[in-house]
């Protein structure tokens, strides 16, 4: 499994806005540069985030993008689902009827549990909490060394 580029960009854009603070308008070119997101891709992601009422957009001088509500009231799951839709790992949930007459494949319970655990983690992490984390570049190296 891989995180889609679209979902990655959505989370990074929301994180950049959360770091800016509530009610702060940011220009899209600033967000794109800060998070190394291609501007055209960012525009598409922001459109989906706005459609989900996670960000507000305003054209013209003094405009840009701002969070639609406080960062502690927006979860990573909100941003993910805004651009990707619901998390569906189980084939019988993606394409009902494909797994037989009873509608559930033999691995349905397993994948449903994995889906729920992932949703729980994403739902329990707000952008305020994510923005508060300090990134010093050593966490990944420590984790990799411990394997």
CATH topology of domain 5-86+126-133: Arc Repressor Mutant, subunit A (1.10.10)
Read off the pLDDT band of 62 (50, 70, 90): confident
Task: Report the pLDDT value the prediction gives residue 61, as an integer from 0 to 100.
Answer: 80
- Judge whether residue 63 has pLDDT over 60: yes
pLDDT of residue 59: 87
Question: Measured between alpha carbons, how far is 37 from 28 in angstroms, rounded to an integer?
Answer: 10
Residue whose structure tokens are 């540069």: 33
Distance CA 128, CA 20 (A): 10
State both tokens at 77: 């799951």
Interval 73-127: pLDDT, tens? 999 999 999 999 998 886 666 555 556 556 566 777 888 899 999 999 999 999 9
The rounded distance, in Å, linking the Cα atoms of 107 and 100 is 12
Contacts of 47 (CB under 8 A, 6+ apart): none
Which pLDDT value is given to residue 95?
A: 58
CA distance 6 to 42: 9
- Residues 42, 46, 49, 55, CA torsion sign: positive
pLDDT, averaged across the chain: 85
* Helix, strand, coil share (%) of the chain residues, nearest 5: 55, 5, 35
Torsion from C-alpha of 100, 103, 107, 109, nearest 10 degrees: -160
Q: What gap in Å lies between CA 133 and CA 135, rounded to an integer?
A: 6
> What is the chain's length?
147
Between 14 and 143, the higher pLDDT residue: 14
């Amino acid at each position: 499994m891989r995180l889609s580029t679209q979902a990655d960009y959505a989370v990074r854009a929301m994180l950049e806005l959360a770091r800016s603070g509530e009610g702060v308008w940011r220009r899209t070119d600033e967000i794109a540069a800060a998070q190394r997101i291609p501007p055209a891709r960012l525009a598409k992601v922001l459109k989906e985030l706005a459609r989900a009422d996670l960000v507000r957009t305003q054209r013209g001088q003094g405009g840009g993008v701002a969070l639609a509500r406080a960062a502690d009231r927006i979860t990573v799951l909100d941003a993910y689902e805004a651009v990707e839709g619901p998390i569906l790992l189980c084939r019988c949930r993606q394409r009902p009827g494909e797994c037989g007459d009873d509608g559930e494949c033999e691995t349905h319970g397993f994948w449903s549990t994995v889906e729920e655990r992932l949703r729980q983690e994403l739902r329990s992490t707000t952008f305020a909490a994510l923005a508060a984390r300090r990134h010093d570049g050593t966490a990944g190296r420590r984790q990799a060394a411990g394997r």
